[in-house]
């Protein structure tokens, strides 16, 4: 992505609306997406309900959608907002992603919490100033402009819980920030009415030093009692009730505090912890740390406010961003963090050379001089002190306990793979993103022997108010590749199978980026059905009236009640590629209790991955993934050398008429490079897929309540001991009381099977 030096919103009028795809094409793509996840019988049922949908409700709902979209910027936008705002579970570890920034290159900020935080805040204020003055260059990809609307939802925005659903609130005139240190809240102004910066970096550092010192003076037991930010991690309806408790009554203090927090430009969280390894750093930016001492939570998990954009800086100067996802996607926040990281580098360069280029089109007045002309402006920090009634103190205690549960239930692991990156992948003839997506599938298949529903977002910001479309990685070609990879097949067969799967993935990515996927269209049709029946006041009352009314209640279209829709919607591998050199890692929590959340960053010579799950052997999954990446490189190199040797042999037969004997050239190969990869198959070796299919077919003879991947031990269906190479089931054994005569050595054969061990001498 590049930026154009024209005004921020100057290209918005040129953007077309997101297209509503052809309904038949959407249904065809839906069947393609769900087929690799189903058995033959399951897929036949899904085909039947899809055909019924096309013949009945589908066209009518599609026409309703077209009519609905006529006076809207996007047919999916409001439905997409509602899907987030109606979400009732805690946003932490469920909705909010994070970015972990690279370390600051300047010695001034490196390792210093206050200096790093001050640098990031000043750069952020420069970004906000350029955005509000509409001087921020618009995003574009290869000269094609992207929608900039999401930037208006980035600052001064808060998610407000209500009883029915949450709402998004944005204060476009916000001038202050809120700082959280040891779970205490502070605030001060940073901009004037023209969005010019009114505080210098040195003054900002002094403010932050003052805040940190004040927070340290508060007894840990008192700090825990005022850790109101932990309430933002509660179930949304519970949080709505607690906000009502906070704001009810004659005391307006809490209402004022909430107004200050809700309208703040962003939150700055100064953590008192210093995680050292990457996994702990990632966990801290994603959800904070949990540590209980003498019954009191002393981790950083309570030092947050998850309803807003948060810049988080640890005690040793590591920094990241955690953001509320409803109004903005990763691509938008990535532009923000990239710009502020770049600005911090350029300002450091200026301190060395006295001058350096700036990424901002204009510079504001000197902050100190500006304040001298406006004596009413104050930049002194103030601590916000809540009025807490007894029931709120109890609520804080229980909210912290539940948050600690969530944190301890979630694994976060990281992999910084530096053996190769996009350069090697491209030189091998593959799309880097498709190559890594297929790596996730191969690693999962090697561990579990199946493919599961996988999600990757494709950006649709080429369109007005565009968000994302779902790329469904698991295709017929993907399934064929992972099966081929797990066989003891020739290298060229594995490579060609991978190439077909990657080509298919790239094709899907292109279609989805053009707004021609199936997920968003089908979801919008489901929402239209809900609007027609569930949101209709009369229909809703009749539906809830009792059994007599429910007999005539509208039936959900079969395509959405089908097992195929549920299976595709239950994302086991939720993945996203988002990053550039300003980031070290990017990640989020799993979207399914049985799934993985996988954020990854691709550079020319590395692949950085952060994976999370509800204790699904996350570390083992990443180790398997690393082994696959190394083994695939070995396969590609071996094939490349085989081709080179073949060409060299052909050339040796040709005489160029020159004197002398031509020497054979050899590639320089790192010692033991082919032995770097661990065992992708976990020591079990490659297996023949024909044998695997035969085994699964044998399993399928079991009763309906048995799954293809488990062996029941009930009489008649369990697999008995193997004798002479055949399976002997319980059902084939002699009836109770019958005997099988054995004579001679056959009586004692069982004793002689295996290698006799030599007894230890005592």
Beta-ladder partners of 601 = 608
> How is residue 58 written in tokens?
């589908």
Residue 613: phi, psi to the nearest 5? -165, 170
Nearest C-alpha neighbor of 297 from the set 225, 234, 212, 235: 225
DSSP-derived pairing of the beta strands 98-101 and 411-417: unpaired
Specify the residue for token string 């953001």: 323
- Whole-number Å distance between alpha carbons of 102 and 582: 6
DSSP conformation class of 134:
T
Query: How big is the chain, counted in residues?
Result: 762
Distances from the Cα of 400 to the Cα of 93, 179, 374, 403, angstroms: 14, 20, 43, 5
Beta-ladder partners of 573 = 454, 596
CA dihedral (181, 186, 191, 195) positive or negative: positive
**Residue 403 three-state SS:** helix
> How is residue 393 written in tokens?
């103190």
Nearest C-alpha neighbor of 436 from the set 337, 568, 579: 579
Q: Find the angle CA(521)-CA(526)-CA(532) to the nearest 5 degrees.
A: 125
Beta-ladder partners of 293 = 296
Catalytic residue status for 727: no
- Whole-number Å distance between alpha carbons of 304 and 228: 9
Distances from the Cα of 645 to the Cα of 174, 186, 278, 603, 649, angstroms: 67, 69, 42, 31, 6
Q: Dmax over Cα atoms in the chain, in whole Å?
A: 111
Q: Long-range CB contacts (< 8 A, 24+ apart) of 724-727?
A: 727/698
For residue 549, count other CB atoms closer than 10 A to its CB. Answer: 13
Q: What share of the chain is helix, strand, coil (3-state, %, to 5)?
A: 45, 15, 40
- Whole-number Å distance between alpha carbons of 9 and 152: 10
* Pair 482, 442: CB distance under 8 Å: yes
Nearest C-alpha neighbor of 77 from the set 157, 153, 155: 153
* Pair 262, 385: CB distance under 8 Å: no
Q: Which of 13, 272, 325, 505 is catalytic?
A: 325
Residues in CB range of 366: below 8 A, 6 or more apart = none
- Whole-number Å distance between alpha carbons of 135 and 47: 52
Beta-ladder partners of 197 = 191
Helix (H) or strand (E) holding 320: strand 319-322
* Pair 165, 235: CB distance under 8 Å: no
Nearest C-alpha neighbor of 627 from the set 674, 661, 582: 674
> How is residue 713 written in tokens?
């031990």
- Whole-number Å distance between alpha carbons of 416 and 267: 29
- Whole-number Å distance between alpha carbons of 170 and 85: 15
**Residue 417 three-state SS:** strand
- Whole-number Å distance between alpha carbons of 261 and 284: 22
**Based on C-alpha coordinates, what's the Rg of the chain?**
30
| Beta sheet of 2-4, edge-to-edge order | 2-4, 138-141, 144-145
Q: Find the angle CA(294)-CA(298)-CA(303) to the nearest 5 degrees.
A: 155
Q: Which residues are catalytic?
A: 325
């Amino acid at each position: 992505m590049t930026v154009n030096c024209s005004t921020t919103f100057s290209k918005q009028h040129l953007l077309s609306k997101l297209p509503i795809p052809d309904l038949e094409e959407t249904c065809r793509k839906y069947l393609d997406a769900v087929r690799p996840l189903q058995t033959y019988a399951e897929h036949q049922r899904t085909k039947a309900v899809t055909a019924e949908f096309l013949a009945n409700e589908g066209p009518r709902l599609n026409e309703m959608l077209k009519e609905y979209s006529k006076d809207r910027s996007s047919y999916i936008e409001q439905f997409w907002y509602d899907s987030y705002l109606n979400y009732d579970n805690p946003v932490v570890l469920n909705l909010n992603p994070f970015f972990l920034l690279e370390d600051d290159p300047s010695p001034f900020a490196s390792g210093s919490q206050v200096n790093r935080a001050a640098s990031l805040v000043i750069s952020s204020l420069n970004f906000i100033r350029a955005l509000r003055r509409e001087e921020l260059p618009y995003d574009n990809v290869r000269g094609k402009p992207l929608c900039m609307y999401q930037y208006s939802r980035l600052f001064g925005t808060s998610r407000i819980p209500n009883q029915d659903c949450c709402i998004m609130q944005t204060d476009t005139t916000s001038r202050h920030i809120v700082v959280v240190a040891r779970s205490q809240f502070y605030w001060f102004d940073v901009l004037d009415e023209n969005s010019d910066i009114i505080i210098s970096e040195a003054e900002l550092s002094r403010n932050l030093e003052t805040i940190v010192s004040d927070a340290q003076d508060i007894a840990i037991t008192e700090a825990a009692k005022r850790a109101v930010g932990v309430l933002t991690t509660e179930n949304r309806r519970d949080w709505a009730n607690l906000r009502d408790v906070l704001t009810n009554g004659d005391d307006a203090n809490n209402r004022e505090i909430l107004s200050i927090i809700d309208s703040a430009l962003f939150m700055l969280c100064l953590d008192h912890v210093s995680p050292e390894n990457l996994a702990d750093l990632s966990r801290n930016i994603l959800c904070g740390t949990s540590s209980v001492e003498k019954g009191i939570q002393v981790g950083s998990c309570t030092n947050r406010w998850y309803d807003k954009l948060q810049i988080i800086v640890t005690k040793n100067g590591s920094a990241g961003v955690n953001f509320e996802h409803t109004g903005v996607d990763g691509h938008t926040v990535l532009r923000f963090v990239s710009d502020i990281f770049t600005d911090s580098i350029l300002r450091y360069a200026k301190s060395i050379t006295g001058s350096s280029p700036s990424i901002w089109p204009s510079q504001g007045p000197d902050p100190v001089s500006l304040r001298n002309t406006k004596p009413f402006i104050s930049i002194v920090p103030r601590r916000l002190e809540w009025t807490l009634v007894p029931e709120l103190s109890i609520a804080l205690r229980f909210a912290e306990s539940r948050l600690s549960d969530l944190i301890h239930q979630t694994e976060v692991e990281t992999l910084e793979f530096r053996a190769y990156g996009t350069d090697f992948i491209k030189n091998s003839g593959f799309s880097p993103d498709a190559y890594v997506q297929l790596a996730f599938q191969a690693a999962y298949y090697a561990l579990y022997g199946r493919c599961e529903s996988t999600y990757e977002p494709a950006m649709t910001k080429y369109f007005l108010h565009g968000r994302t479309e779902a790329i469904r990685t698991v295709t017929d070609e993907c399934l064929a590749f992972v099966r081929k990879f797990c066989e003891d097949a020739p290298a060229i067969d594995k490579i060609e199978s991978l190439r077909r799967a990657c080509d298919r993935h790239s094709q899907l990515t292109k279609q989805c980026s053009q707004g021609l996927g199936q997920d968003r269209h089908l979801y919008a049709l489901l929402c239209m059905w809900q609007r027609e029946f569930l949101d209709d006041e009369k229909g809703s009352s009749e539906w809830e009236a009792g059994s007599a009314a429910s007999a005539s209640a509208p039936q959900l279209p079969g395509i959405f009640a089908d097992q195929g829709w549920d299976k595709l919607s239950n994302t086991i591998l939720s993945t996203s590629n988002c990053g550039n050199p300003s980031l070290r890692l990017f990640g989020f929590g799993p979207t399914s209790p049985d799934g993985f959340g996988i954020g990854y960053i691709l550079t020319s010579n590395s692949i950085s991955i952060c994976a999370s799950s509800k204790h699904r052997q996350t570390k083992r999954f990443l180790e398997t993934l690393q082994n696959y990446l190394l083994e695939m490189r070995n396969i590609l190199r071996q094939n490349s050398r085989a081709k080179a040797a073949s060409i060299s042999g052909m050339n040796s037969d040709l005489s160029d008429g020159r004197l002398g004997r031509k020497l054979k050239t050899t590639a320089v190969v790192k010692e033991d490079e082919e032995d770097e990869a661990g065992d992708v198959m976990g020591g079990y070796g490659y297996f023949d897929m024909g044998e695997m299919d035969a085994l699964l077919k044998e399993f399928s003879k079991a009763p309906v309540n048995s799954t293809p991947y488990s062996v029941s031990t009930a009489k008649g269906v369990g697999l008995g001991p193997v004798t002479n190479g055949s399976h002997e089931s319980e059902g084939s054994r002699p009836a109770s009381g019958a005997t099988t005569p054995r004579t001679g050595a056959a009586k004692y054969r069982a004793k002689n099977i295996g290698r006799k061990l030599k007894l230890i001498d005592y």
